[in-house]
Amino acid sequence: MTAPPDVLISEVGPRDGLQSVQATMSTAAKCAWIDALHAAGLREIEVGSFVSPRLLPQMADVADVVRHAVGLPGLTVMALVPNLRGAQAALATPLHKLTLPVSASAAHSMANVRQTPAQMVELVRQVVALRDASAPAVRVEAGMSTAFGCTLQGRVPEDDVVRLAVALAEAGVDEVGLSDTTGMADPAQVRRLFRRVRAEIGTRTGAAHLHNTRGLGLANCLAAWDEGVRTFDSSQGGLGGCPYAPGASGNVVTEDLVFMFEAMGVRTGVDLERLQAARAVLAAGLPGEPLYGMTPEAGLPPGFTYADGRRPSAATSTLASADADRS
Q: How many CB atoms are closer than 10 A to CB 30?
A: 24
User: 3-state SS string over 207-250?
Assistant: EEECECCCCCHHHHHHHHHHCCCCEEEEEHHHCCCCCCCCCCCC
Q: How many CB atoms are closer than 10 A to CB 136?
A: 7
From the candidates 31, 150, 221, 242, which is the catalytic residue? 242
Query: Which H helix or E strand runs over 187?
Result: helix 187-201
Fill in the DSSP letter of residue 41.
T
- The CA dihedral of 297, 8, 82, 116, to the nearest 10 degrees, is -100
242 catalytic? Reply is yes
- With 0-12 / 13-18 / 19 or more C-beta atoms within 10 angstroms meaning exposed / middle / buried, residue 288 is exposed
Buried-exposed string 75-91: b where 16+ CB fall within 10 A, e elsewhere: bbbbbbbbbeebbebbb
Torsion angles phi and psi, residue 78, rounded to 5: -125, 150
Torsion angles phi and psi, residue 26, rounded to 5: -65, 160
Strand, coil or helix: what is 176?
strand
Residues with catalytic roles: 242
